[in-house]
Every structure is written in C-alpha cells, then in structure tokens.
Amino acid sequence: MRKHLLVLLTLMFVFFLAACSGGGDSETSTDTSEDNTSESTTEDSSEGEASGNQEITVTAKSEIPSMDPSLITDSVGFQWAGETYEGLYRLDENSQLVDGMAESSEVSEDGLTWTFKLRDAEWSNGDPVTAHDFVYAWRRAVDPDVGSEYGPYFLGGIIKNATEISNGEAELEELGATAKDDKTLVVELEKPVPYFKSMTVFITFMPLNQDYVEEQGDKFATEAEYTISNGPFHMTEWNHGEGWTVEKSDTYWDSDTVQLETINAKVIKEVSTGVNLYETGDLDQTELNAEFVDQYRSNEAFNVAEKPYLYFFKFNQDNNEALANVDARKAISYAIDRQSLTNAILNDGSVPAEGYVPSNFVSMPDSEEDFREAQGPLVEYNEEKAKEHWSKALEALGTDTVEIELLGDDTGTSKDVLAYYKNQLETTLDGLTINLLEVPFKERVRRDNEAEFEMEAATWGPDYVDPNTYLNMYLTDGQNNRMGYSNEEYDALIEKANGEYAQDPEKRFETFLEAERVLLEEDAAVAPIYQDAKAQLFRPSIKGVFTTATGPEFEFKWAYVEE
C-alpha cells in the first residue's frame, strides 16, 4: 500500500536516487493509513540501549504560534503539541496506528458509529484522561466562539452535526461525540469515512482537560506554565522567539518506553547559523541547504528525510485580475523549471512535483501502484507553452504589463527560492513584474488565513493518508480555499468520492484522479512546484528518531542517546 519513504542516504545512494529521478531530489502535514511504511532517520531502537545524558537540542524554523490544539495550524505547533498531547492513536516508525489513549475500537456495519475504549491514563496534573476530555475538546474545536480553523474543517461533514454547530445552527451538546462513561467514547459520523480512524492522530482531535483549560482562560497554552500534557513529554520552558524545552512526563501511561529526559528546541532561521552551532556541539540536529549539502554529503551525520509535503503556488483570483485568467495561471506554472530548482537551488533531496497529490504517499486500492504513477504528470516546465498562454492572457487582459505580489517566508532557503521564482517568471514572461513580499512564517500563515495575498509560495502536508487530504482543499468556499476558486464539476467530483463512492475504493480513487485533472489541467487553480525533503545533520549518537506520514515532523517518543 502506501510507500512513504524516509531514507538515510549514503553518498552512493544519493547519486543513485538522483539518477533514477532524472537528477532531482525531493522536498510539509502528514495524513495516515494503516498500511504505511517508513524508515527511521536514525538507527533502529532495537540496535542498542540508552546510555549517557538523555538530553538533545534540535532546531525549529520559527516560533510556536500556539500550543492550543484547537488553534494550531502550523507545522511547528504540530511538532511540539504532538509530543506533549496524545490522541486515540499514535503512529509508529512504519506509520502504523498504534495504541494511544484508545485500547480498542469497533465500528458499526454501516460505518457510521465508532466506539473507542480508553485506557487508564493521566494528565500531567494528575487528573485522569477520560472520554469526557475528548468530547470537550471536539466540541471546543467546532464552537464558533473559539474560532478554531481546523475544527470546522476536519470535523465538519465528518462528525454528526459539526458543521451545523460551527455555523451557529445547532448546540454544542448535539455534536456526535458522547461519553458513554469515563472509558467509552462513542462517535457518530455524518457518513462512512474510510480514513476516520487515521484522522484521530491529527492535533485537532487531541483531548483537553476542561477544568484546566477553563481555569487558565485566555492564558491557556500561551506560556509553558499554562500548558498541560497527556503525552510523552510536557513543556517546562518557553522563551518566545528563542526556543523552548520539553521534558519526559512521569504521568504518561507509557513512560517506561520514553528514554529521552529533555529535548531543547532553538529557533534557527539561518542555515549557516544552525551548521555553526552543530559544529560547536550546541545543536544535535540542523537543516542543510544547497550551500552545505555537498560539504556534508559523506558525513555520517548526513541524511535526507523524504516527506509527502508539497510546495506550490497558490493563486488568489479575487486579489489580482491577471490571476483570475486561466491562461495567466497556466503560463506561470509552465514557466518554472522545477528540475533546475531542485537540483541547483535546493539540492536537498527535493523532487519536482508532477501533480497535487505527492508521490510515495498513497497507493491505488488493492494495488502497489502509486497514485502519482496511476495519474501521470499533470504539470511540467515548458517555456514555449508558457509564452503561448501568457500571450493569450495579456490579450484578454488588454495590457502588455502585469504586476503580481508573491508572498513567501523570510528564512534563508525560502529567500533563495523566491528569488529563483522571480527570475524565472520575469525572464520567461514578457511584461511581468514579480514583487516579493518576504515575511515571518507566522505572518505568512496569518495572511493565508485572511486571504491577504495575490500569489503565495505555499506549502501543504497531509493530515491523513488519503487523496482527500489534498483534493478537498479547493471546494467552493472551502476553509483552505481562500483564493476565489470555484468549479461546480470539481465540487461534484469531490462530493461523489466522499459520498456515493465512500465505500467503493476503486471508484472513489478514479474520481479523485478525475478531480485532480480538473484542478490542474483544466483550471490551473494552483501550480505544484516541488515535493519536500529535508537534508540535515543529525547527531549519530541519537537513535530511534523517525518521521511519519502525518503529525509531528519528528517522533521522539522512542528516541534515545547511545554514547
């Protein structure tokens, strides 16, 4: 089934990979099935035992905007809330669902009712974790007064009455999640959802201790002292803008498995800074960019983690007249040489994107064929086609000059990529001026949420292993659309995949294939650019760290230091 890859690369294997992919390499949110495979970024935990000081220091690309599971929307928040909270299930090193707060589950024959039996577990303040904590958290996530972005998005249309509640048309108590007793959570769905069990690892589905949250009020999850955990670690220090510390939680139900005592995270925006700190022993992990990859490629600490994270152009058709023109959008997509970008600018294992659903993410039903292989490439670099569509766009717009503002992150690698985009587009498309707007990650996320952009260098990672996690983003007026795109045919295909064909996997996936063709070939609503990989240095003495298809970028529950 899914063949998600996270590989340790030696020099020879890097060259082999480049040759097999035509010279490319590959480049964030995860989404999970029950038949996934993944390899650890470090040596397997069965190969040794913990020894020495069980404290490590890793990098973070930005400040944590929030530690509130109801409000988190970014990868940094996912990482650290994912280590301090635990939902019904967790993902192991093969991206398989393993027991979290749930000991067992059963689903009704019609696929509409799920019953979860919970284990004995405690919060970090000593309170028991109960089914009521899940009910409270899920109600809070769809409460319009709370303002959760992902709550209505993930629960709406899935959990019974979630949409009505988030729209203010039903009461919180009507949500299809009830506590039969302290250890029994009953969930009623609007319709059968093939991937529902895997959705429960997503941060919005984490439980919350109602008494604690309400006691803290507006301070909840804003400082280390106002956080609570039921996961492997709990936050003990948070220096905003600089970093934070999480420590092993003695109240965690599986604390005997957790061997790391302390994880320090430092906010490092410049790759060169991270490399220097790694060399001086102040960091145990840091990202690399093209400037450093060749230097460290043969180092035993070097590895590349492939991820199903997509980097793409998001076109806001409401905020720029040119981007409302389909030929202009197609021209921009054709004008980007993705292979040169991944080879020369990124040089970190990233590979050119060929569609909106990434490769090595999910397989066709009852098949080893990758979704991406089944579909084939839907985007490409083609200068001739770019100029042809651009000429049509200018004629339709009645102008020979166009200005577009391109929004992106202000970190080192992102700046290099944005400069590449500007050069490529302005060189290939006569009369086009790209004005770069580089902002901190948190600000880009805010602008995306508020649709305050014209064109955005955006990213998306899966929330569960299913094509739907990518393709349902662009439904008319969808929570993650926010760019004025609307196509009735596309809406109908996504609705059919998740409705009429919900329990017919083959027809469902064929419908997703058709929807992706509408999104990219017909409408060029977005322009996939590259699929992410992270070239990094990871201290060889740290074992048992791995990444999964969804959730935290790195999983530290099973990690340890072997000196």
State the pLDDT at residue 7.
33
Structure tokens at 252: 């965690």
Cβ-contact 396, 402 below 8 angstroms: no
pLDDT in tens, 340-374: 999 999 988 899 999 999 998 888 998 889 999 99
Alpha-carbon span 471 to 509, nearest angstrom? 11
Residue type, 520: L
Alpha-carbon span 243 to 229, nearest angstrom? 18
Alpha-carbon span 385 to 383, nearest angstrom? 6
Cβ-contact 480, 469 below 8 angstroms: no
* 420 sits in which H/E element: helix 412-428
Sequence-distant (≥ 6) Cβ neighbours of residue 525 within 8 angstroms:
315, 329, 474, 483, 485, 487, 519
Cβ-contact 234, 19 below 8 angstroms: no
pLDDT value at 30 more than 60: no
Q: How confident is the model at residue 248 (pLDDT cuts 50, 70, 90)?
A: very high
Q: How confident is the model at residue 42 (pLDDT cuts 50, 70, 90)?
A: low
Q: Give the number of C-alpha atoms closer than 13 A to the C-alpha of residue 179, restricted to the C-beta side.
A: 16
φ and ψ at residue 333, rounded to 5 degrees: -65, -45
3-class state of residue 473 by DSSP: helix
Sequence-distant (≥ 6) Cβ neighbours of residue 443 within 8 angstroms:
none
Scan for tokens 């940094």, then name that residue. Answer: 76
Any idea which of 13-27, 30-44, 84-98, 345-359 has the lowest mean pLDDT?
A: 13-27
Length of the chain: 563
Alpha-carbon span 266 to 80, nearest angstrom? 12
State the pLDDT at residue 43.
46
Scan for tokens 């409270």, then name that residue. Answer: 136
Alpha-carbon span 135 to 84, nearest angstrom? 19
State the pLDDT at residue 5.
34
Helix spans in 143-270 (H) = 150-155, 162-166, 196-199, 210-216
Q: How confident is the model at residue 32 (pLDDT cuts 50, 70, 90)?
A: very low
Sequence-distant (≥ 6) Cβ neighbours of residue 43 within 8 angstroms:
543, 544
pLDDT in tens, 128-175: 999 999 999 999 999 999 999 889 978 988 999 999 999 999 999 999
Q: What share of the chain has pLDDT > 70, as a percent?
A: 91
What residues form DSSP beta bridges with 113?
Answer: 188
Q: What share of the chain has pLDDT > 90, as a percent?
A: 75
Alpha-carbon span 417 to 92, nearest angstrom? 33
Cβ-contact 532, 231 below 8 angstroms: no
pLDDT in tens, 85-122: 999 999 888 778 899 999 999 999 888 999 999 999 99
Structure tokens at 242: 């600089």
Scan for tokens 């200018």, then name that residue. Answer: 394
Cβ-contact 468, 478 below 8 angstroms: no
Residue type, 438: E
Q: Classify residue 385 by burial, with Cβ atoms within 10 Å: 0-12, 13-18, 19+.
A: middle
pLDDT value at 6 more than 50: no
Residue type, 425: L
Cβ-contact 479, 429 below 8 angstroms: no
pLDDT in tens, 365-419: 988 899 999 999 999 999 999 999 999 999 999 999 999 999 999 987 899 999 9
CATH numbers and ranges of domains, the chain: 11-64+230-305+535-561 (3.40.190.10), 85-217 (3.90.76.10), 307-533 (3.10.105.10)
pLDDT value at 545 more than 70: yes
Cβ-contact 538, 544 below 8 angstroms: no
Scan for tokens 């007793």, then name that residue. Answer: 181
Structure tokens at 142: 């769809």
The radius of gyration of the chain from alpha carbons, rounded to an integer in Å, stands at: 23
For residue 358, give the DSSP letter: P
Q: Pairing state of beta strands 262-267 and 55-60?
A: parallel
Question: What is the average pLDDT value for the chain, to the nearest integer?
Answer: 89
Q: Classify residue 395 by burial, with Cβ atoms within 10 Å: 0-12, 13-18, 19+.
A: exposed
Residue type, 326: V
Q: What is the DSSP string of 134-188?
A: HHHHHHHHH-TTTT-SHHHHHHTTTBTTHHHHHTTSS-GGGSSEEEEETTEEEEE
Q: How confident is the model at residue 11 (pLDDT cuts 50, 70, 90)?
A: very low
Alpha-carbon span 207 to 159, nearest angstrom? 15
Cβ-contact 207, 134 below 8 angstroms: yes
Alpha-carbon span 495 to 478, nearest angstrom? 12
pLDDT in tens, 57-69: 999 988 999 999 9
pTM above 0.75, yes or no: no
Alpha-carbon span 137 to 140, nearest angstrom? 5
Q: Give the number of C-alpha atoms closer than 13 A to the C-alpha of residue 146, restricted to the C-beta side.
A: 26
State the pLDDT at residue 2.
33
